Structure 1
Amino acid sequence: MKEYAKKFYKSKAWYRCRQSYITSQHGLCERCKGVGKIVHHKTYITPQNINNPAITLSHSNLELLCQDCHNKEHHASDAVVSSGLMFDSNGDLIRSE
């Protein structure tokens, strides 16, 4: 988790939003219909928009993903990630071996 986002991701507002979004999607990954695990922000959170609830807390900017679909999302848009690496549930880059 990025340092600037720690306070947000530990907030009651995010917890409530995250839980309500998971419930609204019946706990299923929106891409493969597997078990959803990560509530993903379609517009990524940045230091510039982290205080904008239309970005951070709006269901219209969220997507429930399983770990594999979340990893594919970040792999597809991040050419720095290479084989043998993946993102964990906190969004941190780790070795998949």
Structure 2
Amino acid sequence: MAKEFAKAFYNSKRWKDCRRAYIAKRIAIDGGMCETCHEVPGYIVHHKIELTPDNINDLDIALGFNNLKYDCHICHQKENVKDGPADGLVKYEFDSEGEMVVLPPEK
């Protein structure tokens, strides 16, 4: 969930265009796999340096590809433990026919 100061940014055309272009770049590189675990498709474009009220207008931080990462939901949650633990999140993969298979929870 975006912090109040960042809501306008995340709803902006500039961010949406940047996000779309970054995902397209990642798809061209490796099919859009998670940049952290490299095991499942990416789910969210994540800022490596978290946006703050002081840096949100710094284009290198807010929109620079060098500060972005395409992570799956699990890896994103692990990096942002403050948002809640990754335990209990549904993990999945795809079988040879392309059907989604829900994996049992890790112990």
User: Normalization by structure 1: what TM-score?
Assistant: 0.76
Across the aligned residues of Structure 1 and Structure 2, the Cα RMSD in angstroms comes to: 2.0
Once the two structures are superposed, residues 13-53 of structure 1 have per-residue CA deviations (whole angstroms, 9 ceiling, x without a partner) of 10010011111111221012211111000000000011111
Q: Percent identity?
A: 45
Q: In 1, distance between residues paired with 2:86 and 2:44?
A: 22
The number of residue pairs the alignment matches comes to 83
Q: Structure 1, unaligned stretches of length 5 or more?
A: 87-97
1:20 aligns to 2:21 (yes or no): yes
Q: In 1, distance between residues paired with 2:71 and 2:43?
A: 6
- Report the equivalent of 1:10: 11
* CA shift for structure 1 position 83: 7.9
Aligned CA distance change for structure 1 residues 2 and 81 (closer, same or farther; 3 Å): same
Between 1 and 2, higher relative CO (CA 8 Å, sep ≥ 6) is seen in 1
Q: Structure 2, unaligned stretches of length 5 or more?
A: 90-107
- Report the equivalent of 1:58: 64
- Report the equivalent of 1:32: 37
Q: 1:43 aligns with which of 49, 64, 78?
A: 49
Which has the higher Rg, Structure 1 or Structure 2?
A: 2
User: Normalization by structure 2: what TM-score?
Assistant: 0.70
